[in-house]
Amino acid sequence: MSLDVILVGLAGVLTSAAPLLFGAIGETISERAGVTNLSMNGKILLCAMGGFAATLATGSIVLGFLAGAFIGGLVALVLAFASITLRQSQVAVGFVLTLLCRDLSYFLGNPIMGATGPRLSTLRIPLLADIPGLGVLLFRQDIMTYLSFLLIVGVWIFIFRTRPGLLLRGIGERPSAAYVRGANVNRLRYLYTIVGGAIAGLAGPIYSLSVKAGWKGTISGLDGMGWIVLAITIFGGWNPFRAAFGAYLFSFLQWLGLVLQPALPGIPSQVLQVAPFPLMILTLLFVNIGNAEWVERSLARLPERGRKRVVKILRALNVKPPSALGTPFEKE
Amino acid sequence: MNVELRSIRKTFGTIQANAGISLSVPSSCIQGILGENGAGKSTLMKILSGFFHPDEGEILLEGERTIITSPADAIRLGIGMLHQDPLDFPPFRIIDDFILGRKGGLFPDRRRAGKELKALAAQFGFDLDPDAWVDTLTVGERQQLEILRLLWLGAQVLILDEPTTGISQPQKEKLFATLKSLAGQGMTIIFVSHKLEDVEFLCDRVAVLRQGQLAGTAAPPYQTSALVRMMFGKDVALGARTAAQPGRSILSLEAVGIDGARLQIRDVSFRVCAGEVIGLAGMEGSGQSLLLSSCAGLTRTVAGHVGITDCDMTGHSYHAFMRKGVAYLPAARLEQGLVPGLSLAEHFVLSEGRGGPFIDRRAAAAAARERIDTYNIKGAPSHPVEALSGGNQQRMLLALLKKELSLILLEHPTRGLDIESTLYIWGKLKERCAQGAAILFISADLDEVLQYSDRVLVFFAGRMSPALPAEGLSVERLGELIGGKGWGAFARETARA
What is the per-residue pLDDT across B296-332, written as a single tens digit (0 to 9) for each? 888 888 888 898 888 888 888 888 888 888 988 887 7
Using pLDDT thresholds of 50, 70 and 90, give the confidence band for residue B497: very low
A181–B101 CB contact, under 8 Å: yes
Q: How does pLDDT run across B43-75, given as a tens digit for each residue? A: 899 999 998 999 999 999 999 999 999 999 999
Is residue A272 domain-resident? no
Is residue A24 domain-resident? yes
Looking at residue A292, its pLDDT comes to 66
Q: B1-10, B265-274, B387-396: lowest mean pLDDT where? A: B387-396
How far is it, in rounded angstroms, from Cα B80 to Cα B189? 10
Using pLDDT thresholds of 50, 70 and 90, give the confidence band for residue B239: low
171-200 of A, contacting B, C-beta below 8 A: 173-174, 176-183
How far does Cα B288 stand from its chain's mean position? 15
Q: List CB contacts of A52: < 8 A, sequence separation 6 or more.
A: A64, A109, A112, A117, A205, A208, A209, A213, A214, A215
Residue B99 has pLDDT above 90, yes or no: yes
Q: How does pLDDT run across A297-323, given as a tens digit for each residue? A: 677 677 777 777 777 777 666 677 888
Strand ranges inside A26-96, DSSP E: none
Which residue of B92, B106, B302 is in closest CB contact with A162? B106
Q: List CB contacts of A44: < 8 A, sequence separation 6 or more.
A: A19, A23, A200, A201, A203, A204, A207, A222, A225, A226, A229
Nearest in space to A311 (alpha carbons), one of A321, A319, A300, A322: A300
A vs B, Cβ pairs < 8 A, gives 70
Is residue A140 domain-resident? yes
Architecture of domain B3-232: 3-Layer(aba) Sandwich (3.40)
Rounded to the nearest integer, the mean pLDDT of chain B is: 86
Query: In chain A, which stretches have pLDDT less than 70?
Result: 1, 284, 287-288, 290-293, 296-297, 300, 315-318, 331-332
Q: Measured between CA atoms, how close is B413 to chain A, in angstroms?
A: 26
Nearest in space to A232 (alpha carbons), one of A11, A1, A3, A31: A31
Provide the edge-to-edge strand list for the sheet that holds B249-259: B264-273, B249-259, B301-308, B311-312
Q: Measured between CA atoms, how close is A30 to chain B, in angstroms?
A: 18
Does B185 or B393 have the greater pLDDT score? B185
3-class secondary-structure state, position B52: coil
Residue B241 has pLDDT above 90, yes or no: no
How far does Cα B300 stand from its chain's mean position? 26
Using an 8 Å Cβ cutoff, are A43 and A200 in contact? yes
How far is it, in rounded angstroms, from Cα B60 to Cα B26? 11
Please, what's the largest Cα pairwise distance for chain A?
A: 68
- Residue in B100, B107, B298, B321 to test binding to A, most A beta-carbons within 10 Å: B100
In terms of C-beta distances under 8 Å and separation of at least 24 residues, what long-range contacts does B126-129 make, across chains too? B126/B174, B128/B94, B129/B94
Nearest in space to A23 (alpha carbons), one of A35, A41, A36: A41
Nearest in space to A204 (alpha carbons), one of A325, A51, A314: A51
Looking at residue B89, its pLDDT comes to 93
**For the residues B97-110, what does the mean pLDDT come to?**
91
CA distances in angstroms from A305 to A309, A312, B293, listed in the order given: 7, 11, 24
Domain B237-325+403-497 has CATH 1.10.260.40: no
B3-232 and B237-325+403-497 have identical folds: yes
How far is it, in rounded angstroms, from Cα A313 to Cα A112? 51
Domain of residue A185, residue span = 3-221
At position A216, the amino acid (one-letter code) is K
The count of structural domains within chain A is 1
Is residue A51 domain-resident? yes
CA distances in angstroms from A285 to A91, A233, A278, A318, listed in the order given: 22, 14, 10, 11
Q: Angle between the A276-287 and A240-263 helix axes, to the nearest 10 degrees?
A: 140
Is residue A163 domain-resident? yes
Which residue of A182, A296, A304 is in closest CB contact with B101? A182
Does B237 or A158 have the greater pLDDT score? A158
Residue B112 has pLDDT above 90, yes or no: yes
Which letter does DSSP use for residue B358 in this model? Answer: S
Is residue A295 domain-resident? no
Looking at residue B363, its pLDDT comes to 82
Is residue A286 domain-resident? no
Is residue A277 domain-resident? no
Q: List CB contacts of B141: < 8 A, sequence separation 6 or more.
A: B126, B128, B171
Supply the ipTM of this predicted assembly.
Answer: 0.85
**For the residues B175-179, what does the mean pLDDT come to?**
93
Chain B residues at the A interface, defined by Cβ less than 8 Å, are 46, 51-52, 70-72, 75, 81, 87-92, 96, 99-101, 104-108, 259, 300-302
Domain boundaries, chain B: 3-232, 237-325+403-497, 338-401
- Nearest chain B alpha carbon to A302: B302
A332–B51 CB contact, under 8 Å: yes
Looking at residue B493, its pLDDT comes to 56
**For the residues B432-437, what does the mean pLDDT come to?**
87
Residue B391 has phi, psi (to 5 degrees) of -65, -40
A181–B91 CB contact, under 8 Å: no
| pTM over 0.90, yes/no | no
Nearest in space to A68 (alpha carbons), one of A253, A168, A200, A175: A200
Does A90 or B231 have the greater pLDDT score? A90
3-class secondary-structure state, position B384: strand
